[in-house]
Amino acid sequence: MNNLSAREKGFMYVITLLIIVVLAYFFGIRTLNKKYDEYKVELQTLQERKAYLDQLRENNASMATEIEVLKASCSDIELSFIDNLETECLEQYVLKTFETAGCPFLTSVSSTDIGMASVSYPDGTNCPDSVVCMQIAVTYSGTDGYTVTQYNRNPDFTPGSKTPVAETIESLSEQMGQGEYAKRKGYDEFLTALKKINAENPSCIKVSGIVAEEVNGIMTLTASIDFYGTNLKNRISVDDSHAPYTYWCGDTNVDTKGGFIGFPYVCDNENSLWYGVVNMNFDPGASKPFAAYWATALFQQQLSDASGDIKTLIGFEAEENAEPTPAPAA
């Protein structure tokens, strides 16, 4: 080294410096820069991911809000239908509405399950949920403005009535064409009841048909009322509404002591309101598969001897004080 001239030393110095710079660049600066670039890319990726996740979080919040909104909307729609269509509740409601409106003379009432269109999902697959429709058809009669009326044992003509039947009939027979019986009733009351039903819950109770017809001087009035409900597998809402058609509003403590199966020649069940009533479908000549041939013939002969009075033949005598056991207090 000592043999080198100053120029050579300087040259060596410069070379050394250059080597230091080059080495510093290659092993320091360049590596650090390269790392920095990698970090920058990594940071950018992470920032993009964070931005994506931030957006995702906003989306999640929007979706959660939308889900809640949709749940509320689903719930609203579910509650716009009748939760549980029970035929007896619907018929009881309809009959009560007509009776309350002053139209009690029922000719017939019937219920029919109406088939509804099936429901599908957006992709066309069938939805297990469905709309249910129960149609209640009623036919009522108007009055003729003369004849005494009766419905639901009102007035009571059964053998067990508190007022003797003959007395009631005598009293009413004098009122034929008088007072309230002189008014033709039924039509206006029928329309009043229909308007009330139509306005009760327009989204799920709809009057679907009205027929008014005069036959033999009296009006026959028919209406079909459709009740719409749903059959839902995954219900969101809880229906705690208490509309008169969604739950039983009729009697809950009905007297059942006098009910019986199979009408004999004369009803001898003292608890029954039919007590003492002769079988309306009694046919003396009808086949008696349990009886001997001669016994059937003898029966007819004996009935004839009793002037056709089955009560006399079988020796039926109604108990004087026989009256149905009153229904327990509700």
Identify the CA nearest to 263 among candidates 246, 245, 281, 248.
Answer: 281
Contacting range for another protein; rule: CB under 8 A; set: 36-44, 89-97, 98-106, 270-278 = 36-44
The nearest distance, CB 25 to another protein, in angstroms, is 8
49-78 binders of another protein (CB under 8 A): 49-50, 52-53, 55-67, 70-71, 73-74, 77-78
Q: Which is nearer to another protein, 4 or 298 (CB)?
A: 4
Assess 145 for contact with another protein (CB under 8 A). no
- Rounded to an integer, what distance in angstroms lies between the CA atom of residue 60 and that of residue 292? 87
- Rounded to an integer, what distance in angstroms lies between the CA atom of residue 106 and that of residue 91? 12
Tell me the two tokens of residue 19.
Answer: 């080597």
For the four alpha carbons of 241, 245, 249 and 255, in that order, the dihedral sign comes to: negative
Q: Which is nearer to another protein, 6 or 166 (CB)?
A: 6
Assess 182 for contact with another protein (CB under 8 A). no
- Rounded to an integer, what distance in angstroms lies between the CA atom of residue 243 and that of residue 232? 20
Contacting range for another protein; rule: CB under 8 A; set: 25-33, 101-109, 137-145, 265-273 = 25-33
Q: Find how far residue 76's CA is from the centre of its chain.
A: 16
Question: Largest Cα–Cα distance of the chain, in whole Å?
Answer: 171
Q: Which is nearer to another protein, 109 or 232 (CB)?
A: 232
Contacting range for another protein; rule: CB under 8 A; set: 139-147, 191-199, 277-285, 299-307 = 191-199
Tell me the two tokens of residue 185.
Answer: 């009733």
From residue 235 to residue 274, the character string flagging contacts with another protein as x (rule: CB under 8 A) and all else as - is -x--------------------------------------
> Are the CB atoms for 92 and 252 separated by under 8 Å?
no
Assess 15 for contact with another protein (CB under 8 A). no
Torsion angle, alpha carbons of 88, 93, 98, 100, to 10 = 130
E strands, 144-216, in order: 205-215
* Binder of another protein out of 10, 145, 250, 285 (CB under 8 A): 10
212-241 binders of another protein (CB under 8 A): 212-214, 226, 228, 230, 234, 236
Assess 176 for contact with another protein (CB under 8 A). no
- Rounded to an integer, what distance in angstroms lies between the CA atom of residue 140 and that of residue 151? 12
Q: Examine residue 155 and say whether the peptide bond preceding it is cis (omega within 30 degrees of 0).
A: yes
Q: Which is nearer to another protein, 204 or 313 (CB)?
A: 204
Contacting range for another protein; rule: CB under 8 A; set: 189-197, 289-297, 309-317, 320-328 = 189-197
- Rounded to an integer, what distance in angstroms lies between the CA atom of residue 18 and that of residue 319? 138
* Binder of another protein out of 33, 84, 163, 178 (CB under 8 A): 33
Assess 35 for contact with another protein (CB under 8 A). yes
210 phi and psi, to 5 degrees?
-130, 130
Size of the site for another protein (CB under 8 A): 79
* Binder of another protein out of 1, 117, 329, 330 (CB under 8 A): 117
